[in-house]
Chains A and B, each alone.
Chain A
């Protein structure tokens, strides 16, 4: 299994597009946070909470990009045909599927850990340089929310990877990954709410539940808690990947 992990890691880091998307995923929350700290650090209301809210809010986009990288890591294999030499080198397909999942999830979580540390560390210095007082003890949810960004990135990568396994198509997987959380879940939630009168149903939409992982506030609007939301979204992401793994094992390569 170590050999397969090493092989998949080499694959991931030897494609330029993965680096470009990875750098964007890292830079987007960091740059927005740093710019906010630099230009608004002297505002009266700028606090540690502001810093954490900006970082966690933009980290959702970073997590989405991690999902795109993960999806493309497997759809690209089908698109370019490299899945065949891969399975000819490792005939036990579940090993390849598992190794790739581990690699993309690990890379995504590490990426968000680095982005969080950079955003918080340098953002604090910049804001304090502008005269703000940054005290994280004022924000008891800072650590859970920042941890949530890391978990969200990992789960988003897993969900994107699962969609890639199921669709085998880069445009299809990425379209679902972008359209579903940003548009479809809201529409479906509103429709169900209209029909059934259960207006909080959108909180139980998988990706919306995942995004609750990064909430900085303590008010969860009577919906599932951070942990429950995370477990729910994690279950959906895992189910997508397991369904994809079964499909890949049964179908022709």
Chain B
């Protein structure tokens, strides 16, 4: 269990993390989301005492990070896969890391095998791709077999196979009862692996809860209907209070009416339906809606296109 309370961190006049409090429970993957510049990475650094927070505290199973005797056995963290010396080999990178916490050398071979880097363990890190460095970073996280795992954008640079692999690894680790906190911009990945969410914007907590609750609360909902008599159906549904949008010549999206109501109206007017299905927006839709006000760097691509 991770307990973050009242965490506050500024850089000059800019408040990067503002009285942030949240909890991360064991047994599930928790996604840590926020727009660019929202303070995710700073929060993670403060949690690990790498950045000195002005206020607040983070407890890992009721202990502060600085009080952990052998942190790698308790909290495994990967904040940036680029934090390596390019002249060292992958194995030697893991060697100093393992030695710092008294971890046996045999464990290095185990984690190298786990992440699939055994064959290139002796190569210098300057020859590693970003994806290989991510794998090496995850090997470092797993060195001490920790029960808490913190990862900042772990899928960056990974190919589709690698992304699927890291998703499987993290869900497997969470299923073993570990506490897993993962930040990512790849919302589709978070939707697939995370059960809980912590969403922040401008350094403040926007929302914490399960992914399903978050989508239910914030994502758009509508009903999709297909019918050979679309004109009659559209008139009926509009008269019944729905907002109707034509998708193609045989399909309508209906907002403002429940699925059951659409079906009943169609039946009352003798309209044949080929499809009647409830639709829900994605995690990405919900995220963009919730964080719209907190977007520090907003793209103007749409305006340019117009």
The residues of A with any CB-CB pair to B shorter than 8 Å are 3-4, 6-8, 10-11, 14-17, 76, 80-82, 84-92, 250-253
The residues of B with any CB-CB pair to A shorter than 8 Å are 45, 48-52, 65-66, 68, 71-72, 75, 77, 79-80, 82-89, 92, 95-97, 99-102, 140
Q: Known contacts A89-B72, A251-B52: does B88 contact A15 (CB below 8 Å)?
A: yes
Contact call A84/B100, Cβ cutoff below 8 A: no
Some 15 contacts from A to B, beta carbons below 8 A apart, are: A3-B100, A3-B101, A7-B96, A7-B100, A10-B92, A10-B96, A10-B99, A80-B85, A82-B83, A85-B97, A85-B140, A89-B97, A91-B71, A92-B66, A252-B50
One of B83, B89, B102 near A85 (C-beta < 8 A): B83
Residues of chain B within 8 A (CB-CB) of A11 are 85, 96
The residue of chain B having its C-beta at the shortest distance from the C-beta of A81 within the complex is B83
Contact call A3/B49, Cβ cutoff below 8 A: no
Contact call B52/A80, Cβ cutoff below 8 A: no
CB of B81 to closest CB in A, whole Å: 10
One of A14, A17, A82, A87 near B49 (C-beta < 8 A): A87
The residue of chain B having its C-beta at the shortest distance from the C-beta of A6 within the complex is B99
Secondary structure call for the A interface: helix
CA distance A16 to B89 in the complex (A): 11
The residue of chain A having its C-beta at the shortest distance from the C-beta of B102 within the complex is A3
CB of A195 to closest CB in B, whole Å: 40
CA distance A88 to B150 in the complex (A): 11
Residues of chain A within 8 A (CB-CB) of B75 are 88
* Given pairs A11-B96, A84-B80, A92-B66, 9 additional interface contacts (CB within 8 A): A4-B100, A6-B99, A7-B97, A14-B89, A14-B92, A81-B82, A88-B50, A91-B65, A252-B52
Contact call B99/A7, Cβ cutoff below 8 A: yes
Q: Known contacts A3-B101, A6-B99, A84-B79: does B86 contact A253 (CB below 8 Å)?
A: no
Contact call A3/B99, Cβ cutoff below 8 A: yes
Residues of chain A within 8 A (CB-CB) of B89 are 14
Contact call B85/A15, Cβ cutoff below 8 A: yes
The residue of chain B having its C-beta at the shortest distance from the C-beta of A77 within the complex is B85
CB of B285 to closest CB in A, whole Å: 35
One of B52, B86, B100 near A86 (C-beta < 8 A): B100
One of B45, B66, B83 near A91 (C-beta < 8 A): B66
Contact call B50/A253, Cβ cutoff below 8 A: yes
Contact call B87/A17, Cβ cutoff below 8 A: yes
Contact call B51/A252, Cβ cutoff below 8 A: yes
Residues of chain A within 8 A (CB-CB) of B88 are 14-15
Residues of chain A within 8 A (CB-CB) of B87 are 15-17
CB of A71 to closest CB in B, whole Å: 15
Contact call B68/A91, Cβ cutoff below 8 A: yes
Residues of chain A within 8 A (CB-CB) of B83 are 80-82, 84-85
CA distance A80 to B87 in the complex (A): 11
CB of B125 to closest CB in A, whole Å: 9
Residues of chain A within 8 A (CB-CB) of B79 are 84-85, 88
CA distance A42 to B82 in the complex (A): 58
The residue of chain A having its C-beta at the shortest distance from the C-beta of B91 within the complex is A14
One of B50, B68, B95 near A84 (C-beta < 8 A): B50
Contact call B45/A90, Cβ cutoff below 8 A: no
CA distance A170 to B96 in the complex (A): 22
Q: Which 8 A-B pairs have the closest CB atoms?
A: A81-B83, A7-B100, A14-B92, A7-B99, A10-B96, A252-B51, A253-B50, A91-B66
